[in-house]
Structure 1
Amino acid sequence: MAEVLSKTSLFSSWHHHNRQNQSISVFPKSCNYNKSGSFCCSLKLNPEISSLSLSTKSDFHGKRVALQEHRAMPSRGNFQSQAASVVNSQNQQTGLRFGKALKWWEKGNQPNMKEVTSAQDLVDSLSNAGDKLVVVDFFSPGCGGCKALHPKICQLAEMNPDVQFLQVNYEEHKSMCYSLNVHVLPFFRFYRGAHGRLCSFSCTNATIKKFKDALAKHKPDRCSLGPTKGLEEKELLALAANKDISFNYTPKPVEAVPTPAKEVIVSEAAPSRLNSEALPLPSTTTSKSAQVVTAWR
């Protein structure tokens, strides 16, 4: 009996040492003395353990000892693979989360707000706007005034969906901004149809009223006669002459303006002296005839 208890305690201590990898439960339920003079012990298994079991022979009086492990605890290889898959999924989720992070000039943008990608894009956007009011916003990522003003510009864009807002990043298009004579930020220019540039000014968060007043002044619908003007001719020529940007522009041919014909004004001339002497004078003729009649009498 002492030998049986020592065997049981041996398995119990081994189970306690390896409980992180395998869970083995060996509980002696009862020991019966056989006629052959040996003990026969039946083992009670932990009911919480799954049905998967491994049977092996031991020197525990020639009896079988059932070794069982939890399915909840995967084997060493499976555990490592599952841990790697969890880490990969977390890394993928983290990467997607960082990929969706918006920059401050992209937050709150409305459908009528567009970032300009090149000089040609700016010219085409202004040309295709028609009679719609277009606001060109020049900003810089490192400009604190631009960052503070951006949320209010987004609110005004949301309140005026019929106005097109074009954003020009000064750091990405510095050479183009030089050609357009933009040297202070934040800076705004208003364009409409055949009128071309309506106004240009710089304002900050403290002087936002200047922007609102310009928006209210130029927003009413107006029909402009003629093609959309966009940038001025000198600005287009400056962009085409800039070697740092790829922009081609062919100057428009100058049409010769016809000179109006001079009008010849003919004034009525006074009758000449000869003509005046040739005409008979009624008073003289009358006097001579009167003298002839008097003499005849």
Structure 2
Amino acid sequence: MAVSLREGFCISGYSALDSTLDRKKPLFGAAAHSLEFSPWKNEYSLKQMVLGEPLAGRDKSVQNFSICFPQSARWWDKGELDNMVDIRSAGNLVDTLANAGNRLVILNFYSPDCGGCRTLHPKICQIAESNPDALFLKINYEDHRSMCYNLNIRVLPFFRFYRGQQGRICSFSCTIATINKFKDAMAKYNLGNCDSGPAKGLEKTELLKLALGESPPSSIIR
């Protein structure tokens, strides 16, 4: 059976074991199951509904089933390279930027249900492959809403470029139609070592906001 992960799907059915006949067959009173898959979050849920009372004198047990999907089913993980890193927390982001040295670091803010982010992702992977010395930090808006809000991220997809002691050198939003904006930034700032010393990382005002952890609004432009 072929299904489209983009559209999602549902699998349902039921069965029970009738010990009096010693064979599997649907029975009145068995449990019906419905398996629903979310295409954006790679999540599935198993629901159960009792169809009626069991027949007297019969020993029955409902057959359960489960389906697991590999992580590769998530579009934002496809094509991931060694220089593409998932950020797990605000502290993880601060430490990664501080330890990046002179490497060009690109913060990639995205959401699993952002169509523009999904379309752009393969191109970003290609650019990351062509620039192995650059570091791409992936920040999932759905997992880190508060962090994104306190970094003033108001539209997706969104990118920030950091470099050594200079700190943030540019930031912008782009789509597949304006991918040249991203390519031009890579060509301009990925020019090898340009300074020495500890990396600047986030601004002090941003660090303060992250420490305070203000709550974000419920929506963002996608």
- The alignment partner of 1:105 has SS state of helix
How far is 1:114 from its partner? 0.8
Task: Quote the residue 1:196 is aligned against.
Answer: 167
Task: Quote the residue 2:123 is aligned against.
Answer: 152
Q: 2:78 aligned with 1:107, yes or no? A: yes
Task: Quote the residue 1:118 is aligned against.
Answer: 89
Task: Quote the residue 2:183 is aligned against.
Answer: 212
How far is 1:223 from its partner? 3.5
Aligned mate of 2:200, from 221, 224, 229: 229
TM-score, length basis structure 2: 0.65
- The alignment partner of 1:167 has SS state of strand
CA distance in structure 1 between the aligned counterparts of 2:81 and 2:99, rounded to whole angstroms: 19
Aligned mate of 1:180, from 151, 159, 165: 151
CA distance in structure 2 between the aligned counterparts of 1:216 and 1:167, rounded to whole angstroms: 20
Unaligned runs of 5+ in 1: 1-75, 81-87, 246-297
The amino acid of 1:166's aligned partner reads L
- The alignment partner of 2:101 has SS state of coil
How far is 1:178 from its partner? 1.0
CA distance in structure 2 between the aligned counterparts of 1:135 and 1:203, rounded to whole angstroms: 13
Task: Quote the residue 2:32 is aligned against.
Answer: none
Task: Quote the residue 2:11 is aligned against.
Answer: none
- Superposition pairs of residues 39-188 of structure 1, within 5 angstroms: 95-96=67-68, 98-188=69-159
Distance 1:162 1:142, change over 3 A: same
CA distance in structure 2 between the aligned counterparts of 1:119 and 1:145, rounded to whole angstroms: 24
The structure that has the greater radius of gyration is 1
CA contact (8 A) 2:101 2:197 kept: no
Moved over 4 A (4+): none
Q: Identify the structure with bigger relative contact order (alpha carbons < 8 Å, sequence gap 6+).
A: 2
CA contact (8 A) 2:106 2:160 kept: yes
- The alignment partner of 2:73 has SS state of coil
TM-score, length basis structure 1: 0.49
How far is 1:209 from its partner? 0.2
CA distance in structure 2 between the aligned counterparts of 1:100 and 1:179, rounded to whole angstroms: 29
- The alignment partner of 2:75 has SS state of coil
The amino acid of 2:79's aligned partner reads G
CA distance in structure 1 between the aligned counterparts of 2:71 and 2:149, rounded to whole angstroms: 32
Q: What's the Cα RMSD here?
A: 2.1
The percent of aligned pairs where both chains have the same amino acid is 57
CA distance in structure 2 between the aligned counterparts of 1:139 and 1:100, rounded to whole angstroms: 17
Structure having the larger proportion of residues in strand: 2
What is the total number of aligned residue pairs between the two structures?
A: 157
Unaligned runs of 5+ in 2: 1-20, 25-62, 217-222
- The alignment partner of 2:184 has SS state of helix
